[in-house]
Structure 1
Amino acid sequence: MGQAERTGARIASARERIHPDYRAMIDDWQERFAADQSFRRLHLERFERGAADPWVFDDGSGPLEACAAAIVAASRARILPADLGPEGKSLMARIAAYANGLRRRLLSR
């Protein structure tokens, strides 16, 4: 069971244990949680499309801007760079490799 499922189960369990006067508050939490999960699923689907087609994040500015757009999209989905340590290191290594490739091919010595 994932973190989201555990959180949803805790909220549902709390609703059953509390005084009926507070159930409306729990119902509101459940609605907010469901909306948040839907929002995150939307972004996850975009990232899944991006994994198959990296140009999903490209606005015509090139791969480096597409990487920046992916980072911004992740932050909008409330995924912070600190949550993606290994992935961030991999991304930075690939960006550095891309920049080195550009230097080799485009800059005269």
Structure 2
Amino acid sequence: MGSRIRENVKHFFECFCEVVPPTADKEAWIIQQYPDKYKDEEVLKAVPKFAYPYKFENSVIQHYSFVLTDLESKWTFGFCRHDPRSETAIVVLSYLPWHQAFYKYV
């Protein structure tokens, strides 16, 4: 079995998403994304669930990451940022496991 990190990555990030938290009657959802043409629907369906894995109150900026694995066992890294002064979360998807770089970027 080879590496799970993709080869020939051409972009720093693949997709940027802004995610609205869940409400009493609706699950979390992506309110906007860049680029609009990002086509991996399975990844986009999973992003809101990882951005808001449970209901929580935060009083400080929180950063965390998650990893999604595709059918070919390749990884997509998600880097989340929750700011208590914002009503949404920022999620950046990348094929690069550069946690420190993304925490500075997001």
As a proportion of its length, which structure holds more strand? 2
**TM-score calculated relative to the size of structure 1:** 0.24
Which of structures 1 and 2 has the bigger CA Rg?
Answer: 1
The answer to which structure, 1 or 2, has the higher relative contact order (CA under 8 A, 6+ apart) is 2
Q: Which has the higher helix share?
A: 1
